[in-house]
Structure 1
Amino acid sequence: CKKHLLQYSKPEAIDSKYKCTIIEDSQCPECGSELKVEKLSSGQYYLGCSKCTWNSYLKTPGLFFPSEAKLAKEANRFGLIKGWKVCDKKLKHTTGKDICPNCFIELLKRAPATNFTTILNSFNITAEQMVRLIKTYLEEERIYGIIDSKNRMFYYISYEMRDKLVEKIQKEGIIKIPDLALMLDVNSEMALNVMYKLISKFQIKGSFSRDKSKYYTQKYITDNLIKTIKTKGRVPLVELSKSFDIPLELIKNFCINLMKTKAIKAFFAARG
């Protein structure tokens, strides 16, 4: 887009019908850059930052809706945008230098972590072109990993490792972010980003602890709630909330669903 000096990858341009999706008078809550409208494969609309990795789907406030009108209403309410004016200017087609995709991907697969300098020097391209290429191959699922723009690194995760992680989470029902970081040889921030990607990709329903140090699957939470409630008979919601370190209201919602589905026969006392 000439106006916003934003470049789109080919898949992004196709999805946006070759129109700029930047929202005027919008601001990313993390870096202050402009936001753009993005769309999930399920058809849900959400907001994504034009510069950093923040988006309203995976991060607070968790906004994604089946219509742009609903998204606009909620985004205005949270102060992310003022009004709803999408740029909508036609994108200019640019042709870059030819790079062998297999060679580029092979370099990224050589080590669990590759710094940006190594990639830039190997292909004589700019950092912006490099990030755009990696994002394209990630979207096309030709490679799996995390871009760490802050520390200028790309972390490669093999599909075998990804599938093992998903299997571990679904089987055990809980994963500690520090343990995940150790398994992948990355820092906790990157491990958390990996967890966000896995949750989104495989629709792993559940909840993080308040400090984001653990992730529980919905099945793990409900199974343990049923066990605790049946064993103790009477238990304060505060106690249940502390045992998982997740918000009290969320615990209460889980309990309500268990009663609705008749997984347990119970009721709330006057003081919860």
Structure 2
Amino acid sequence: MKVRILGVGMGPQHVTAEVGAALRTCDYVVAAAKSADDDLLAVRRAIAEASGVEVVPVPDPERDRDDPADYPRAVAAWHQARVAAYESVLRERGGTAAFLVWGDPSLYDSTIRIVDGLSERLPIDYDVLPGISAPQVLAAAHRIVLHPVGRPVHLTTGRRLRQSIAAGQTNLCVMLNAHLDLAGLDDWSIWWGANLGTDTQSLVAGRVGEVLEEIEAARIRVRREAGWVMDVYLLRAPTGRSS
């Protein structure tokens, strides 16, 4: 058996020629189905159908999303449940399976870890092909560079934003935002985007104190229009503040 982990950006328009060619070598796509009307599963179907590849939906195991006390342990348990669910599909079907990963598999995605777990249970070989990441699309959409001259950019999640700022980070690209926690950062600059590269893309930029309400309204609108919202933003401290 073979598994191909393919980065597909934010949808069919971001599938690279390399990934498209790899997908056409696969017998089927394994995809998590989070609900009966999973909009993100529909996008995966569109990508697979363009290459004539069947999608095998797998009900996604339940996960504790209410900020559990031991977050790493909760995620690890969820990953193990996913491994077990996918294992049954691979054992039954064999052949070459693909996993289509939003953005790029290297950034805040656990597909590689899950397939590592599968490889401990099954005789599979796997490879990974990169995709266009959300920070790349955000920077292009706003026509910006993610970092000032000679300075780093810190990649983190909404869950760890406050911890990162407390540690002295002043230029942050923030992903996986269950909600926006920007209180007290009114003078910081933000470049925000949701559902990047799709028909429901929304962009806002400015001082946090001036545009926060606009961003919150845009998140609600995008979720209503698309059925889902994935947002990412660059947050930068006022000029002159150092880490």
TM-score, length of structure 2 as denominator length:
0.26
TM-score, length of structure 1 as denominator length:
0.24
Instruction: Judging by fraction of residues, say which structure has more strand.
Output: 2
